[in-house]
């Protein structure tokens, strides 16, 4: 906090739930002390602090109250999903009506899911990569993300 304040920079903390745990869930006294110290640092910080999480329920309520803005980022709408898909997978050729329907039905598909699949299939031969395979991979990717959680939240 001090260094960022001296530099007049913005402080960005990703996966912030690891630093801001709920004190009532603490197993060790140092966990409570850690959250208390983080609260004190936030209170004394004179700069911009941005934190991101997919697990807002794991963050201590006192810390949540100190954020002026809490913004939830929802998955893209159907048209945005189609555009993102086209940007990443245009080399797979034209999308027929059936695959477009399947893609539009993936309502909780995120840009991160698309990128993860794009990176996974990046080494496939362009001639062997079909939309059916890609959409199957996207469906699988969403399935991995759904395990053990309800929805993504960022603030």
Is residue 102 pLDDT above 50, yes or no?
yes
SS (H, E, C) 63-129: HHHCCCCCCCCCCCCHHHHHHHHHHHHHHHCCCCHHHHHHHHCCCCCCHHHHHHHHHHHCCCCCCCC
Give residue 45's pLDDT band: very low, low, confident or very high (50, 70, 90): very high
Q: Express each pLDDT in 66-76 by its tens digit.
A: 899 999 888 89
Please state which of the ranges 86-90, 105-109, 151-155 shows the lowest mean pLDDT: 151-155
- Which pLDDT belongs to residue 24? 82
Cα–Cα nearest to 57, from 25, 11, 29: 25
- Which pLDDT belongs to residue 144? 83
Alpha-carbon span 139 to 145, nearest angstrom: 10
Report yes or no: 64 and 38 within 8 Å, Cβ to Cβ. Answer: no
β-bridge partners, 12: 50
Give residue 153's pLDDT band: very low, low, confident or very high (50, 70, 90): very low
Alpha-carbon span 142 to 132, nearest angstrom: 16
Alpha carbon separation from 100 to 62, 64, 118, 141 (Å, rounded): 45, 40, 17, 18
pTM above 0.85, yes or no: no
Cα–Cα nearest to 120, from 94, 145, 138: 138
Q: Express each pLDDT in 20-35 by its tens digit.
A: 888 888 888 888 888 8
For tokens 């603490």, what's the residue? 26
């Amino acid at each position: 906090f001090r260094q960022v304040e001296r530099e007049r920079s913005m402080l960005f903390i990703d996966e912030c739930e690891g630093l801001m745990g709920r004190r009532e869930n603490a197993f060790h006294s140092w966990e409570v002390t850690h959250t208390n110290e983080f609260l004190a640092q936030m209170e004394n910080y004179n700069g911009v602090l941005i934190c991101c999480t997919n697990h807002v329920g794991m963050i201590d309520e006192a810390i949540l109250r100190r954020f002026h803005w809490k913004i939830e980022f929802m998955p893209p709408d159907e048209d945005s999903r189609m555009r993102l898909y086209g940007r990443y997978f245009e080399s797979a050729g034209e999308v027929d009506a059936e695959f477009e329907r399947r893609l539009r039905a993936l309502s909780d598909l995120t840009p991160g899911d698309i990128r993860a699949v794009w990176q996974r299939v990046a080494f496939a031969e362009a001639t062997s990569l079909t939309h059916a395979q890609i959409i199957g991979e996207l469906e699988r990717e969403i399935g991995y993300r759904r395990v053990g959680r309800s929805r993504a939240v960022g603030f």
